[in-house]
Amino acid sequence: MSTTLARKFKVDVTADLTLATGWLALNGINDFDPEIAPNLEDTTAYDTTGWGTSEPTLQEWTATATFFRRLVAGVYDPGQELVRNTVGQFGNAARVGIRWYDRNGGPEAYSGVAIPAWKRANTGVKNVEQATATFTGTDIPLNLGISNPYTTASVPVITGITPAGVAVGGSVAIQGQYFTGLVATTGVKFNAVNATSFAVINDGLAIAVLPAGSAGATPVILTNATGASTAFSYTRA
């Protein structure tokens, strides 16, 4: 008989508040603490024969994640940056979608929309940088018992392309996640045209050379063995 490990949970975040697309892994987590806390109202009466009774009238949920702030090729984890960029925002810009689930395929899987709070952690001179994000559920109820979305492979997700305004023959850096294993030759497309060449630097960074094409907004799609990314609009010269 074995005991399950605390690190079994995987956590993803998205800017899509419908919780349908754009999921990014929240990497570097070393502590994760979700909580569902009911508001209990006292319903004790004479007929409970001396025993106190309560009834839940509201449900609240939070989830706290602490993670290391790592740089990969000079770029912070895109999932962490999605959360950090909600700081100081209002309305939908202050919210993210979040889901957590058992990476072993177990039944524990939840998703919801939350307002994150961000705080630096482990801040001493001899420490390595960490941050703690506390997610507080909003007006959308937490989805309990969703189908476990865990998979060992995911389609690429593009979070940014720099610099803007590059013309044919120039190079751009594509940031995101799940770039490992991009399909040879056809793995990077600009407006359905294969990149002249590309190189995967790591799972979150690829360098691509722009093929011939018209100036203006250009959809960029990355493809690996699992599937194709959602198109990311890039403005080329």
Q: In the Cβ-directed half-sphere of 158, how many Cα atoms lie within 13 Å?
A: 26
DSSP bridge pairs for 160: 175
pLDDT of 152 reads 83
Distance (Å, whole) CA 230 – CA 233: 10
Amino acid (1-letter code) at residue 120: R
The angle at the Cα of 202, spanning 200 to 208, to the nearest 5 degrees, equals 30
The angle at the Cα of 149, spanning 147 to 153, to the nearest 5 degrees, equals 155
Q: In the 8-state DSSP scheme, what is residue 8?
A: G
- pLDDT over 90 (residue 159): yes
- pLDDT over 80 (residue 233): yes
pLDDT digits (tens, 9 = 90+) for 213-226: 999 999 999 999 99
Distance (Å, whole) CA 112 – CA 140: 7
Computed from CA positions of residues 70, 73, 75, 77, in that sequence, does the dihedral angle turn out positive or negative?
A: negative
pLDDT digits (tens, 9 = 90+) for 51-101: 999 999 999 999 999 999 998 878 899 999 999 999 999 999 999 999 999
Which residue do the tokens 């997610």 mark? 135
Q: Report the share of the chain in percent with pLDDT over 70.
A: 100
